[in-house]
Amino acid sequence: MLPLKWRVGLHNALFARAAPPPAPSGFAPFDEIAARAARRSDINEHLLTLFAEAVAQRPRLMVELGVRGGESTFVLERAAALCDARLVSVDLADCARTSSYRGWTFVQSDDVAFAREFAGWCRARALEPAIDFLFLDTSHEREHTRRELAAWLPLLAPAGKAVLHDTNLRRPYWRRDGSWNLGWDNARGVIAALEEFFGARFDENREFIAVRRGWLLQHRPWCAGLTTLQRLPGTGAPR
């Protein structure tokens, strides 16, 4: 049996096809993200979706949990610039040079610990501590994701939106362009934490839209999974 890495390479050589890039729009932020999305990465097939989901919020305050190489930051800084929003990014590692957007602030911290300080941190900077757009992409471990959801979802504005990456992480995982990529087996960590939060079972390898406990969920299974959470209007505070 060939090693998995070789099988992934062979699979990609035989079955993957390059997705046709969208025609240039003439709108620089979109075209820059589209160019980035044309290069395979662990998140490339979600970059335009992330931009669309963020801009649709007309955000004033955006928070990104997990920066690393800055793929999501590249998208979120463009959405923030378009909306003249503040973007706060958090990571355990020093990622302070990832963005040059003037409305960007990097906080080097454990994200759950920072959530406890967030309201005071915002007030000290004359910011309303109500998050319009929250992106979670950190450890991918169940217990940590459970604590992230508990700590950060209550900080969303009433019409705020949260987006989680790696809700269908596998080894390997699949992209819509037919390619595979080597992820790691996180024992369904992120989606299992969502199942616990919503008291439901989800089939993360299929696309779905669901309503649970006053939230609208939209799940895209490809490229390790991307799941959007938005509280339905008139359903009160987050749980």
Ligand X SMILES: C[S@@+](CC[C@H](N)C(=O)[O-])C[C@H]1O[C@@H](n2cnc3c(N)ncnc32)[C@H](O)[C@@H]1O
Please report, as ranges, the residues that interact with ligand X according to CB under 6 A.
43, 66-72, 90-93, 110-111, 137-139, 144
Instruction: Report d(CA 10, CA 134) in Å as an integer.
Output: 37
Conformational region of residue 57, where left means phi above 0, alpha means psi within -120 to 50, and beta covers everything else: alpha
Closer to ligand X at the Cβ: 143 or 203?
143
Closest separation in Å from C-beta 74 to ligand X: 8
Closer to ligand X at the Cβ: 111 or 132?
111
Closer to ligand X at the Cβ: 227 or 231?
227
Closest separation in Å from C-beta 45 to ligand X: 12
In this structure, are residues 53 and 228 in contact, taking their beta carbons and an 8 Å threshold? yes
Neighbours of 109 (CB within 10 A): 14
Closest separation in Å from C-beta 78 to ligand X: 13
Closest separation in Å from C-beta 16 to ligand X: 21
Closer to ligand X at the Cβ: 68 or 239?
68
**CA angle (87, 89, 129) in 5-degree steps:** 60
Closest separation in Å from C-beta 216 to ligand X: 23
Helix (H) or strand (E) holding 151: helix 142-152
Closer to ligand X at the Cβ: 61 or 164?
164
In the chain, DSSP finds a helix count (H) and a strand count (E) of 7, 10
